[in-house]
Amino acid sequence: MRNRKMRGLIILVVLLVTAYYFLPLVVPNLPSFWTTKRLKLGLDLQGGSQIQLEVDFTNSELSVKEREDAIKTAYEIIRNRIDQFGVAEPLIQRVANTNRIIIQLPGLKDPSRAKDLIGKTAMLEFKFVASSEQMQETYETMDKFLQENIEKYEFLEEFSDINETDEVVDVLGTEEEMDDESYNNAMIFTDLTTSETGMPLQIDYKHLAKLKSLLKDPLFLQNIPTGLQIALGKDNKHDPYSARDIYILHKSAEITGKSLDNAITKIGQGYTAKDKGPYIMLEFKKTGAKKFKNITGQNIGERLAVILDNIVFIAPTIESRIPDGQARITGNFTIEECHDLVIVLNAGSLPAPVNIIEERTVGPTLGSDSIKAGILAALIGMAFVILFMMIYYGLSGLFADIAVIVNVTFIIAVMTMLEGTLTMPGIAGMILTIGMAVDANVIIFERIREYLEAGKTIRSAVDSGFRRALVTILDANITTLITALVLYQFGTGPIKGFAVTLSIGIVGSMFASIVLVKAIFDGFVTNTAKDKLSI
């Protein structure tokens, strides 16, 4: 009696949990206390993006072993980034014996964001902003360099034109002398990096490509004063066509991302616009925190720029020593931007450049067709199984059919609870478990028939049938479960999806066939005075 109460309690708990996670999939507008989790669909069912990457060793001199290590490192970093990105059940797989990696992102609505995230190198640096004297020197040097080499930079000719006011007085000299004087007075770099509003150290959007070309030119970079560099500020996401800030920095970094322990997205609650909105909190390792404390303590009043991948995100003035080893990156971020930067910072830098060589999008039509075909196959298979069991085993077959339905809902509920993803191979595993779900009951029913034919009572035949069939059922299902676990451990992508649904289905099948059906028999057959059993 006590065992039956315990069994009834277990069945009740399982059925309630199953209903809790399954009903939201078929019943809309449930009470607020119901779960908000939904069954996720894989790339083949709901569409998404597939990206093929190639680790680029063109400009690197690495041995075969070093290249192999670099590919493995890139694979792990990309996997960490994608896992934190939040895509359900992504497939990240290396193409055998190559430097290529395939990524599948089911249901991704913004593939460009994922591509940016995957390719970032995440080089974090802290550098001091140059002094006003050094800035002046840089401007004078670069103006002179461009004046003397303007023929190499035709795209800057508009900044070297002779002004009309320079041509009106002939007595100043010959035309050739005037041209020389005009060019000598031309401040090409100064004009390029002064916005239309008259703000120095800013470049208008229409001239941005020109400056980027200069910053990629080796000859231009060689002539920047020793120990200094020119860097662009972060663009304004709210107004992408606005002027960009320009920074002249010390070339050597005071501290880098290697000293970083953790990066966290936070929301500012301050009273000023600067202190509101999302920002990134950086926490340094013990040695990095000590170094950061010394740097800030010894350079109060100086500007320290925070640079990520050669883009200056912020360059605040050090107002006091920072002893706790924390720093903030701010700059009109959205939550998504902060989240992506945090992922990149925490996941680490890629060991080599990664190029996207192929991108494919799976459209919703393919997903819709796949879902319809899968659902149709599952329904037809279930219908045949249910019909066969009812015809062949009568009322007992109906009990087995109830177990099949419970098993299917159990699979879907568990996958929803675990936030798993259903794919076409997963649907195949589910269809397979529909057939396997009644296999145990077939063994039990045939045993019961044998005992009834041998003259045993209904109660005795049912108890003996379940007890004698238990070993055979456990043996068959456990061996299949082991196979499914091996597939999950060593398989990838679709094979794992098949293994997951098969494993859940086997567990659900044993529960429904042995525990649930036995409880139904005890409640409706053996506890009542029956002379005949429909089996």
Res 482 pLDDT > 70: yes
Determine how many CB atoms are found less than 10 A away from the CB of residue 175.
Answer: 9
- Predicted TM-score (pTM) of the model is 0.53
444: helix, strand or coil = helix
pLDDT tens, residue by residue, 518-533: 888 888 765 666 678 8
- Say which residue, 178 or 242, is predicted with more confidence: 242
Indicate whether 165 pLDDT > 60.
no
Average pLDDT, the chain: 81
What is the rounded CA–CA span in Å between residue 313 and residue 329? 7
CA dihedral angle for residue 255, residue 257, residue 260, residue 266, rounded to 10 degrees: 110
Residue 216 per-residue DSSP state? T
Question: Under a CB-based contact definition with an 8 Å cutoff, are residues 211 and 247 in contact?
Answer: no
Helix (H) or strand (E) holding 170: none
The predicted pLDDT at position 177 comes to 42
Instruction: Considering only residues 87 and 397, tell me which one the structure prediction assigns the higher pLDDT.
Output: 397
Contact 315, 246 (CB under 8 A): no
Question: Residue 424: pLDDT above 70?
Answer: yes
The pLDDT value recorded for residue 365 is: 56
343-347, 490-494, 530-534: which is most confident: 530-534
What is the bridge-based pairing of β-strands 421-422 and 40-41? Answer: parallel
Integer-rounded Cα Rg, in Å, for the chain is 35
Q: Do the Cβ atoms of 295 and 255 come closer than 8 Å?
A: yes
> Has residue 174 got a pLDDT over 50?
no
| Residue-level pLDDT at 164 | 40
> Rounded distance, CA 385 to CA 383, Å?
5
Question: Minimum mean pLDDT among 172-181, 259-268, 368-377: which range?
Answer: 172-181
**pLDDT score of 122 more than 50:** yes
Q: How many CA atoms lie within 13 A of 203 on its CB side?
A: 21
Domains and CATH numbers, the chain: 2-41+363-526 (1.20.1640.10), 48-120+356-362 (3.30.70.3400), 124-349 (3.30.1360.200)
pLDDT band at residue 435 using 50, 70 and 90 as cut-offs: confident
β-bridge pairing 311-314 and 228-233: parallel
Hunting for tokens 């065992």 — which residue is that? 3
Question: In the predicted model, what is the mean pLDDT of residues 211-223?
Answer: 91
202: confidence class by pLDDT, cuts 50, 70, 90 = very high
Expressed in angstroms, the distance from the first to the final Cα of the chain is 26
> How confident is residue 275, by pLDDT bands cut at 50, 70 and 90?
low
Are the C-beta atoms of residues 37 and 416 closer than 8 Å to each other?
Answer: yes
Q: Which class for 397: exposed (0-12), middle (13-18), buried (19 or more C-beta within 10 A)?
A: buried
Question: Chain-centre distance of CA 167, in angstroms?
Answer: 62
When mean pLDDT is compared across 2-6, 226-230, 248-252, 320-324, the lowest value belongs to 2-6
In the block, tokens 């429904």 appear at: 512
| pLDDT score recorded for residue 173 | 39
- Work out the burial of residue 411: count CB atoms within 10 Å of its CB; fewer than 13 is exposed, 13-18 middle, 19 or more buried: buried
Say whether pLDDT at 501 is over 90: no
Task: Quote the strand ranges of 382-529, DSSP E.
Answer: 421-422
State the pLDDT confidence band at 104, using cuts at 50, 70 and 90.
Answer: confident
Residue 178 pLDDT: 39
Phi then psi for residue 200, to 5 deg, are: -75, 165
Does pLDDT of 15 surpass 60?
yes
